[in-house]
Amino acid sequence: MGSAVESESLVKRYPKATTNAVDGVSFAVPAGEVFGLLGPNGAGKTTTVGMLTTRVRPTGGRATVGGVDVVTNPVDARRQFAVVPQRSNLDRSLSIRNNLLFHAAYHGVPAHDARRRADELLDQFGLLDRGDTKPDFFSGGQAQRVMIARALMHEPSVMFLDEPSTGLDPAARLFVWDRLRELTNRGVTLLLTTHDMHEAATLADRVGIMDHGRLLALDTPEALLHTLPGSATLELTTTALEPPAARELLAALTDLAPVERAEELPAVPDVSGAAQFRARLYLTGDAPSLVAPVATLLAERRIALRDIGLGSPTLEDVFIHLTGRALR
Amino acid sequence: MTALSESTAIRGGQARAFVAVLRRDIFVTRSEVLVFLAQVILQPLFLLFVFGKVLGSLGYTQRGYSDLLFPGLLALTSVITGMQTLAFPLVIEFGWTKEIEDRLLAPMATSLVAAEKVLFAMLRSIVATLVMIPIGIVVLGDIPWRWAGVPLLAAATLLGSLLGAALGLVMGTLVTPTRINVVFSLVFTPLLFTGCSQYPWPSLSRLRWFQVVTAANPMTYVSESMRGALVPAVPHIHPWICLLVMVGAISVLLAVGLRGFARRAVD
């Protein structure tokens, strides 16, 4: 069986633009996978998804969804997938239930099946008592739930979600994540775009990291983390240091046994507003065993330790490593 | 053979999607039928009342003016309703609420989504035009009516509605939400008053420059053919010329509108 989504050297250049918004992106998503496209705003994620969902015409390359070519056969391709945008595009003239029912009708679902499915989905998404209201005064989280329910009305094999939990409160976010996990259990392929590395790491089986229209890396979150120089990190905060002292300290820290790289982090003043020095150490070995040597090293230099934290690297670190700048 | 039956099935699916989208529009209109009637009827109703009834009763207009005003207002209703039905919601759906996206992602050709908009605008416009007939009887007491003119009246209603819808499609796809107010006032008012709905075109020979201006407004030909149908004694542009110009204008506007729609729908 072929891939659920396949992108081959997709290119999009908008008229009058000097660079490609999407610049030769290739990937394949096997059926049932959760695939995350991670990148900052403007990286080309939305344009890539726009091409896959027939709303943006590629300048070059080809793509299939559910085995159907999205450029040569957009009508048939649309039967294969559903789209859940970031901002509500619900039909404001229709009640929630009718939003679901008419979506099903557009996709040729028989009325009897559609009514049964709408009831099931409204129940599952905790919307049964809101079925007859119009979406006008729905919160972002509620609209998101309705849009996911609507997307499921025609039983798509692939679902595209744009920033599925941006702007949701923590409870709503967990609710959406739970529903999405249920979908993957049913075998639906999910392709989500996000600039939230936590979301990508939590939901996605594989993550593609995009920047400037290119796919920089593509792998499981674990494998991506392994590409980093260190697999564990140690962050420390001290009183403020003069630049020469800071440089000397970083050099000394780098000389410690399992430290692969030490970098200064942007300074954050403490509660009283006094300046502080912060550094992150990337380690090849264990972080806890390094705490004592670091403390000794600071004591020798009469530098007061304010805070120390052990951490494992995140996808954000992978992004910084790949692009040299922060995700947002 | 398989390919053939498959492609037939796909076409069948598109027809079903088209009908479902049309059903959605009719469903929404039915649930707000009073708003619909108020929206489309108030303007021609007041024009009819003030110009046809009030001014006539006060002796400012000649006897018989309401007879040539009435067909003009039928034309006005058919064109303006078609335009309003399509243009306003389309600008908002494309530019702001994005409500149209669910239909653009339905398994049907993008041009069919546009075609549905045009067909629905036509239907609303035909209903509005037909409703003007009993309203005319109530307001004026008596309307000019010729059964022999009904075929031409029907053709003018159909083409007038389609003309309005095509005009609405052009405006709806070319105008951005931020400019909607300006564009509509710039287009709407001139369209309303240069479309010969309040005066017959040949009588404008005394005001040559204005006659030229009105000849450029396609609504003029709808008004003139309505007069040809209901009050043939009043000098009017020959119905065949009217029909020909209407068909030509519709073709051009539809071509531009469909292109604009495709551009808005697919980046």
How far apart, in whole angstroms, are the C-alpha atoms of residue A203 and residue B21?
35
pLDDT score of B257 more than 70 = yes
How far apart, in whole angstroms, are the C-alpha atoms of residue A108 and residue B23?
13
Pull the structure tokens for residue A23. Answer: 């610049």
Q: Which residues in chain B are closer than 8 Å to A93, comparing Cβ atoms?
A: 28, 31, 99
**A vs B: CB pairs below 8 A:** 80
Residue A108: which of B17, B23, B103 has the nearest Cβ? Answer: B17
Q: Which residues in chain B are closer than 8 Å to A76, comparing Cβ atoms?
A: 10, 107
Q: In percent, how much of chain B has pLDDT > 70?
A: 96
A56/B104 CB distance under 8 A = no
CATH fold, domain A5-226, is Rossmann fold (3.40.50)
- ipTM of predicted assembly, 2 dp: 0.86
B101/A79 CB distance under 8 A = no
B107/A90 CB distance under 8 A = no
Please report, for residues A38, A91, A111, A170, A188, the alpha-carbon distance to residue A146 in angstroms, rounded to integers and kept in the order given: 24, 11, 19, 18, 18
How far apart, in whole angstroms, are the C-alpha atoms of residue B160 and residue A292?
87
CA A253 and chain centroid, separation: 33
- Contacts of residue A169, defined as CB under 8 A and 6 or more positions apart, other chains included, come to A141
pLDDT score, position B1 = 40
Would you say B243 and B159 are in contact if contact means Cβ atoms under 8 Å apart? Answer: yes
pLDDT score, position B97 = 80
- Contacts of residue A47, defined as CB under 8 A and 6 or more positions apart, other chains included, come to A12, A21, A22, A56, A213
To the nearest 10 degrees (0 to 180), the angle between helices A96-106 and A111-124 is 140
Token pair 């979908």 is at which residue?
A: A183
How far apart, in whole angstroms, are the C-alpha atoms of residue A150 and residue B103?
12
Q: In terms of CA atoms, which chain A residue is nearest residue B9?
A: A76
pLDDT tens-digit readout, B53-112: 888 888 888 878 888 889 999 999 999 999 988 998 898 888 778 889 999 999 999 999
- Contacts of residue A112, defined as CB under 8 A and 6 or more positions apart, other chains included, come to none
Q: Name the DSSP letter for residue A39.
A: -
Residue B20: which of A92, A106, A150 has the nearest Cβ? Answer: A106
Backbone conformation region of residue A138, classed left if phi is above 0, alpha if psi is from -120 to 50, else beta: beta
Pull the structure tokens for residue A64. Answer: 């299939």
How far apart, in whole angstroms, are the C-alpha atoms of residue B197 and residue B195?
5
B13/A102 CB distance under 8 A = no
Pull the structure tokens for residue A159. Answer: 């679902």
pTM here? 0.83
pLDDT score, position B79 = 94
Asked if the domains A5-226 and A232-312 are classified in one and the same CATH topology, the answer is: no
Pull the structure tokens for residue B140. Answer: 């004026």
Which regions of chain A are under pLDDT 50? none
How far apart, in whole angstroms, are the C-alpha atoms of residue B76 and residue B120?
18
Would you say B72 and B156 are in contact if contact means Cβ atoms under 8 Å apart? Answer: no
Every domain of chain A and the residues it spans = 5-226, 232-312
Q: How confident is the model at residue B113 (pLDDT cuts 50, 70, 90)?
A: very high
B98/A87 CB distance under 8 A = yes
How far apart, in whole angstroms, are the C-alpha atoms of residue A43 and residue A63?
19
Residue A56: which of B31, B107, B267 has the nearest Cβ? Answer: B267
Pull the structure tokens for residue A16. Answer: 């009058």
Q: Which residues in chain A are closer than 8 Å to B29, comparing Cβ atoms?
A: none
Q: How confident is the model at residue B244 (pLDDT cuts 50, 70, 90)?
A: very high
Pull the structure tokens for residue A280. Answer: 């992150």
Q: In terms of CA atoms, which chain A residue is nearest residue B95?
A: A89
B106/A78 CB distance under 8 A = yes
- Which of B30, B105, B264 is the best residue to mutate to test the A interface, defined by the most A CB atoms within 10 Å of its own CB? B105
Q: How confident is the model at residue B2 (pLDDT cuts 50, 70, 90)?
A: very low
How far apart, in whole angstroms, are the C-alpha atoms of residue B94 and residue B43?
27
B99/A108 CB distance under 8 A = no
Token pair 């006094």 is at which residue?
A: A274
Would you say B92 and B250 are in contact if contact means Cβ atoms under 8 Å apart? Answer: no
How far apart, in whole angstroms, are the C-alpha atoms of residue A259 and residue A279?
12
Amino acid sitting at position B202: P
Minimum distance, in Å, between the CA of residue B102 and any CA atom of chain A = 7
Three-state DSSP class for A311? strand
Three-state DSSP class for B61? coil
Classify strands A214-219 and A206-211 as parallel, antiparallel or unpaired.
Answer: antiparallel
pLDDT score, position B4 = 47
CA B181 and chain centroid, separation: 19
B103/A106 CB distance under 8 A = yes
B107/A83 CB distance under 8 A = no
Q: Name the DSSP letter for residue A271.
A: T
Cβ atoms within 10 Å, residue B158: 16
B99/A150 CB distance under 8 A = no
Which residues share a beta bridge with A70? none
Token pair 């000849």 is at which residue?
A: B215
Whether residue A111 lies within 8 A of chain B, CB to CB, comes out as: no
B28/A89 CB distance under 8 A = no
The A residues from 158 to 217 touching B (CB cutoff 8 Å) are: none
Pull the structure tokens for residue B73. Answer: 């207002």
Q: Please enumerate residues of B whose Cβ is less than 8 A from a Cβ of A.
A: 10, 13-14, 16-17, 20-21, 23-24, 27-28, 31, 97-99, 101-110, 265-267
Minimum distance, in Å, between the CA of residue A322 and any CA atom of chain B = 30
pLDDT score, position A136 = 85
Burial of B9 (0-12, 13-18, 19+ CB in 10 A): exposed
How far apart, in whole angstroms, are the C-alpha atoms of residue A193 and residue A22?
14
pLDDT tens-digit readout, A147-191: 999 999 998 999 999 888 777 788 878 888 888 888 888 889 999
Whether residue A117 lies within 8 A of chain B, CB to CB, comes out as: no
Token pair 């053709």 is at which residue?
A: B155
Q: Which residues in chain A are closer than 8 Å to B99, comparing Cβ atoms?
A: 89-93
Which residues share a beta bridge with A193? A37, A162
* Domain A232-312: CATH architecture, name and number where available: 2-Layer Sandwich (3.30)
